[in-house]
Amino acid sequence: MAVIEAEHLSKRFGKKVLAVDDVSFSIQPGTITGFLGPNGAGKTTTLRMIVDLVRPTGGSVRVLGGRYRDLARPTTRVGALLDASGFHPGRSGANALRVVAASAGISYDRVDAALEMVELEGAARRAVKGYSTGMKQRLALAAALLGDPEVLLLDEPANGLDPEGIRWLRTFLRARAAEGRTVLVSSHVLAEVEQTVDDILIISKARLLAQGPISELTRTAQPVVRVRSPQAEKLEGLLIARGAAVNRLHDALAIRGPGSAEVGEVALAGGVVLHELLTEQPSLEDLFLQIAGTRREP
Amino acid sequence: MISLVRAESLKLRSTRTAIGMGIAAALVTVVPAVLLIAFLPKGTIGGDEARSILIAGSSLVTYIVLVFGILGMTGEYRHGTITYTYLAAPRRGRVMVVKLVVYALVGCLAMLLALLLANLIGAIGLPIRGVSYPTPDGAALADYARQIVTAGLITAFGVALGALFRAQVVTVAGTLIWALMVEPLIVAFKPHIGTWLPFNVFSQVISLRIGDTGATTDGLSRPEAFLVSIGYIAAVSVLAVFISMRRDVT
Ligand SMILES: Nc1ncnc2c1ncn2[C@@H]1O[C@H](COP(=O)(O)OP(=O)(O)OP(=O)(O)O)[C@@H](O)[C@H]1O
Ligand SMILES: [Mg+2]
């Protein structure tokens, strides 16, 4: 049974903004799914719809078999770290979490456990207004973990974390998945995502463009042929004339479309000397840029 | 429900807002009472005046609890804690009802303490000026009870207004401008409309029996004013609950 199941999910804000457009996906237990998309693509809106903070204008989403609001003690089942949520600046970190725990009927013992998990014990008695960006992010993460939930929804959890924190987060998420828990995590740090997630969802301009295991998606993606040549400019012209997509930086070319054999033949026919010719499996970043495009609508 | 009540009470105890409001309420109670007792010419303090001295600050306390209610609700939007509140308790109607009730009780408590404080000052201060402290009789106690209940209702009114408008500064400023400037103008120029406006109705409920200036001939009777107050607060609260349940939290 899918842990999260979205069916034709749509959200329109007012008349003009279609934030999420007919998005369907399902997330299996024990997996980490990366939720990727350019700014304004609809990631946060989708995550907020899963936990009933935003009402869909079309379609539906189910989590753990039902609507979020019908779950008994929902924060003990689903933990969420969401953009644009926050803490009262005058409260201490520990009190901020106690407030969250109290509303959810979670014991205060969990507050200390969660603070320890994110390594904030030292600052627990200090007011949140004195926290750094990364400390606030850790506190938000602690709030999501408070109920020891089986599902985690994390909206850009790496925001503001230092390299050590990011590495900790990666290990932490892997360990959660190994316990059979399910994670849906949005992120812009693709290199991080690549090392952490099993599956990805790619959303752009409100529409879901790709979903599936990361290995499969990168395999089906177009490979990139890289070439170094003293006559790079000439080769670039020849390839573009054949309809290839080419990026040139000085003597290096990155070519999409033709395979390495074809590039080599074009070079020979054109009398172009090659210093290097190799095929590269696209990284998640290449894949992402291919699918979601680099340019935003004006 | 119990956990929501605990959460609200912890929210109140874990910031300085409640303490600040408590201090403000104490000051507006103590300062006028002390000044009046100290500076009124001796002959002018009779029993009735003495009694009104004791509640001189209480109308200001109602404005303080009003602001307190607005801050309590709009603060959740301002600081983004509303997200956590609704994640833990996605049945938003319950959250709002608990908040309204908890704040109403706090408002009642604030007025109760203010009145106790005022009477304490009277019991100590009046005899020093040679005026005997008028021990509250049944009528005075009824006045006090009305003031306490109204303070609770006004606090809930503040919470409901906060839920409707969300923006903290705008709601506080807008409400105070309405209550202190717009309504009095309407009351002055169009009394038949003014009589029915919310803050004027509230003040008619708690207006003093002695030297009564609040309720004029065309004003409402106390029971009428009380019923209309309840009507206003119920209407705004129901609207607040209804809108909160439907609104996107982004
Ligand atoms: N409350 C709102 N009212 C109106 N429009 C909104 C609201 N919230 C989001 N939007 C719009 O919906 C679209 C999707 O926004 P969303 O925050 O979901 O994007 P995102 O993928 O999370 O972007 P980012 O990577 O920048 O966080 C955007 O065009 C945004 O302007
Ligand atoms: Mg976002």
What would the two tokens of residue A73 be?
A: 């003690």
Q: Which of A7-16, A216-225, B16-25 has the lowest mean pLDDT?
A: A216-225
Q: What is the pTM of this model?
A: 0.88
Q: Which of A17-31, A82-96, B10-24, B217-231 has the lowest mean pLDDT?
A: B217-231
Q: How many angstroms separate the Cα of B75 from the Cα of each of A94, A189, B78? A: 19, 33, 5
Q: Exposed/middle/buried for A254, CB within 10 Å: 0-12, 13-18, 19+?
A: middle
Contacts with B10 from chain A: Cβ below 8 Å:
95, 98-99, 102
Give the pLDDT of residue B129. 82
Fold held by A222-280 = Alpha-Beta Plaits (3.30.70)
Positive or negative, the Cα torsion across B55, B57, B63, B65? negative
Q: Would the CB atoms of A68 and B90 count as touching at under 8 Å?
A: yes
Give the pLDDT of residue B215. 46
Q: Does domain A4-218 have CATH number 1.10.486.10?
A: no
Q: Which atom of ligand 1 is nearest to the CA of A156?
A: 27
Has residue B210 got a pLDDT over 60? no
Mutate: best of A77, A103, A129, partner B, most B CBs <10 A:
A103
DSSP state of B42: G
Nearest to B29 by CA among B143, B110, B97, B94: B110
Has residue B49 got a pLDDT over 80? no
Helix or strand (DSSP H, E) at B218? none
State the SS3 of B74-120: HHHHHHCHHHHHHHHCCCHHHHHHHHHHHHHHHHHHHHHHHHHHHHH
pLDDT band at residue A298 under the 50/70/90 scheme: very low
Phi-psi region of A77 (alpha: psi -120 to 50; beta: other; left: phi over 0): alpha
Q: Would the CB atoms of B83 and A85 count as touching at under 8 Å?
A: yes
Q: Exposed/middle/buried for A201, CB within 10 Å: 0-12, 13-18, 19+?
A: buried
Report the distance separating Cα B47 and Cα B52, nearest Å.
9
pLDDT tens digits for B64-77? 999 999 999 999 99
Each domain of chain A, given as residue ranges in start order, spans 4-218, 222-280
Nearest to B201 by CA among B236, B248, B243: B236
Report the distance separating Cα A281 and Cα B98, nearest Å.
57
Contact A290, A283 (CB under 8 A): no
Contact A277, A245 (CB under 8 A): no
Ligand 1 cavity residues, CB under 6 Å: A 13, 17, 19, 37, 39-45, 83; B 248, 250
DSSP state of B37: H
DSSP state of B248: -
What would the two tokens of residue A236 be?
A: 């670039």
Contact B17, B68 (CB under 8 A): yes
Report the distance separating Cα A185 and Cα A158, nearest Å.
10
Has residue A56 got a pLDDT over 80? yes
Give the pLDDT of residue A67. 95
pLDDT tens digits for A116-142? 999 999 999 999 999 999 999 999 999
Q: Would the CB atoms of B84 and A85 count as touching at under 8 Å?
A: yes
Task: Determine the residue type at B225.
Answer: A
Report the distance separating Cα B85 and Cα B69, nearest Å.
17
User: Of chain B residues 102-141, which have a CB less than 8 A from chain A?
Assistant: none
Q: How many angstroms separate the Cα of B200 from the Cα of each of B145, B206, B214, B215? A: 19, 10, 9, 9
User: ipTM of the predicted structure?
Assistant: 0.87
Provide the residues around ligand 2 (an ion) whose CB is within 5 A: A 44, 83
Mutate: best of A69, A83, A99, partner B, most B CBs <10 A:
A99
User: Of chain B residues 53-82, which have a CB less than 8 A from chain A?
Assistant: 75, 79-81
Q: Exposed/middle/buried for A52, CB within 10 Å: 0-12, 13-18, 19+?
A: buried
pLDDT tens digits for B88-100? 999 999 999 999 9
Contact B210, B55 (CB under 8 A): no
Give the pLDDT of residue A82. 93
